[in-house]
Amino acid sequence: MTSTTTPPAQPGDGPGGQPTGRTDLPPLDVLLPVAEHLPPDAREERLAALYAYDPPTRGFHVVRANMVASVDGAAWGPDHRSGSINDDADWRVFRVLRALADVVLVGAGTARAEGYTALDRPRGLRHLHDATLELAIVTRTGRVPEALARDDRPPLVLTGPAGAAAARGDVPADRVLVVGQDAGGTADEPGPAVDLAAGLAALAERGLARVLTEGGPTLLGDLLAADLVDELCVTTTPSVVGQGPGRIVAGAAPSGTTALPPRGARLAHLLHSPEDRPGSPAGTTAARWLLPIG
Ligand SMILES: NC(=O)c1ccc[n+]([C@@H]2O[C@H](COP(=O)([O-])OP(=O)(O)OC[C@H]3O[C@@H](n4cnc5c(N)ncnc54)[C@H](OP(=O)(O)O)[C@@H]3O)[C@@H](O)[C@H]2O)c1
């Protein structure tokens, strides 16, 4: 962020806050031009190596979030979908992340807005991981999006006690994972959110330990609030949307605060798409950020 105010004077600063030869500032690397170029590759072995899951640190699972944003931070475009702000460079990373995961975890809002159906591992990338790619939906109400309810390949549904009956009406009972305290709610008044930590543990028990969450902002906010996200992959596409859309995280900070203190993140890598092509203007960046335990 560029500040128009004068930064606070530091020891060693000259008049007007201008640094006078400070040696304690961090070094900066120029990332472009890059040392390594990844041409289109049907097998995506190198990209897959860059995104190989790290070993778990927060339990038996690893949670990777993958989100796309415009330069000005919008999480969706005019059609209320992320498809109007993403591009082919993002798609390349998106496919590899799906290829590496055991399960894609999404909030019911995203499944509805983006029209999720049963998932297949991306074509041509099954050599990276050939098990079935599961889809798991998080819903407090237990109302499974129509396109997924009664599908031949139903999703797993993570819901609380209040949403269990509705979910079992939409998918077979063995696909419903009831996680959370019984606070006496109903599907219309569902009470507290799903216990996401218990939900992730239940997925890991089924052998689904490599989790890829594709959002949306409400689910990502809740996962971050519970310190359950191991890494955040953020694609920034060269677009400016302006007023209207939310950002990639939604939800209120705990009562009495406007925001929690920022937590640190470590950049694992940053990809940049240098070429202007139809469907993918130059300038897209894809960052892989690792989040230490908060
Ligand atoms: N930029 C991106 O990368 C990206 C990614 C995904 C989505 N999006 C966009 O984001 C928008 C949707 O945003 P959203 O915040 O509504 O998405 P969301 O988080 O997927 O959906 C919210 C709904 O999901 C369920 N849910 C989420 N977190 C929950 C929790 N902790 N416990 C229980 N249920 C939970 C609830 O469903 P019930 O109402 O059924 O209880 C809630 O109403 C769409 O426009 C979509 O296109 C953007």
Lookup: tokens for 289: 């950020």
* pLDDT interval class at 200 (50, 70, 90): very high
H helices of 177-252, where?
196-205, 217-225
* pLDDT interval class at 133 (50, 70, 90): very high
Cα–Cα distance list, 218 to 2, 17, 26, 140, 259 (Å): 28, 40, 34, 12, 15
Centroid of ligand 1 to alpha carbon of 208 (angstroms): 21
Q: In the predicted model, what is the mean pLDDT of the chain?
A: 89
**pLDDT for the residue 258:** 85
* Residue 66 alpha carbon, nearest atom of ligand 1: 3
Ligand 1 test: best mutation among 158, 219, 220, 248, most atoms within 8 Å of CB?
219
Which residue's CA is minimally distant from atom 16 of ligand 1? 109
pLDDT at 1 > cutoff 60: no
pLDDT at 15 > cutoff 60: no
**pLDDT for the residue 3:** 47
**pLDDT for the residue 63:** 98
* Residue 163 alpha carbon, nearest atom of ligand 1: 41
Centroid of ligand 1 to alpha carbon of 224 (angstroms): 14
For the full predicted model, state whether its pTM sits above 0.75.
Answer: yes
H helices of the chain, where?
45-50, 88-100, 108-114, 161-170, 196-205, 217-225
| CATH of the domain spanning 60-239+270-290, picked from 3.40.50.2300, 3.30.70.1560, 3.90.1300.10, 3.40.430.10 | 3.40.430.10
- Read off the pLDDT of each residue in 251-280 and give the average, rounded to a whole number: 89
pLDDT at 191 > cutoff 70: no
